Amino acid sequence: MLYIAENLKALRRGRGFTQEEVAEILNVATQSVSKWERGDTLPDITMLPAPANLYKVSVDALIGMDRISGRQARDAVFEAAHRHLRNGSIGEAVAVYTAARKTFPNDAGILSDLAAALALDGDADKLAQAVALCKQVLAEGGGEKVLHTTRAALCYIYMKGGEWDKAIETACRLPHVRESRETILVCIGNRLGVEDVNAALCGIVIGEAAE
């Protein structure tokens, strides 16, 4: 979401202006300033430099880009959506992710989670949307974790749609269990010896246990 309305109100009050004074300075109607601050309407994009200059802030600060791009705002999306998922409110989770997508259109984590939520919600159209979102994430790349998670989710989405061959093809691109966090943490906990470590390394490289 944008934060223009609340920023305009806070900045005006901080500078000690009335809405009438701001309207006169910006050469607009007082009603326009009031609507901007309530969020009923937004200033035209070409108009944004004027209030930014008046309040001595950047346009980015005026619209709240620091909050939009901040980790806190992104984390709040996942927190709210995950809460809905835990409560079984799939449609609500889809709505949270869909709204967040307007602010974070290329965020791989949000797109991946939206795909899973759509698949949970479940008709054929939503399954198709879920597949498309997963493919977008995998095509555009991202962090290793989100790519593995997205590929795994895509396997289950294909299964839900009865596309077993595609599920198998996708699953074959997932890491082997010997490359998983769970397996390696057990090996660390067991303090593997040199021979076992070498065998594990060979298995990762050549795809099979060393003789």
Span 3-20, pLDDT tens digits: 888 899 999 999 999 999
pTM for this model (two decimals): 0.63
User: Could you tell me which residue, 127 or 200, shows the higher pLDDT?
Assistant: 127
On average, the pLDDT of the chain sits at 89
Distance between CA 186 and CA 13 in Å, rounded? Answer: 59
Domain limits, CATH 1.10.260.40, in the chain: 4-68
Interval 96-150: pLDDT, tens: 999 999 888 889 999 999 999 999 987 899 999 999 999 999 999 778 889 999 9
Q: What is the CATH number of domain 71-174?
A: 1.25.40.10
The C-alpha angle with vertex 198 and arms to 197 and 200, in degrees rounded to 5, equals 65
Distance between CA 194 and CA 101 in Å, rounded? Answer: 48
pLDDT of 210 reads: 41
At the second CATH level, the architecture of 4-68 is Orthogonal Bundle (1.10)
pLDDT(47) > 80: yes
Q: Are 59 and 4 in contact (CB under 8 A)?
A: no
Residue matched to tokens 């889809």: 94
Find, among 209, 96, 119, 123, the residue nearest to 167 by Cα: 119
Least confident interval from 52-61, 63-72, 113-122: 63-72
Domain limits, CATH 1.25.40.10, in the chain: 71-174
Q: What are phi and psi of 57, to 5 degrees?
A: -135, 165
All residues at 6 or more sequence positions from 124 whose CB lies less than 8 Å from its CB, including other chains: 161
What band does 208 get if pLDDT is binned at 50, 70 and 90?
A: low
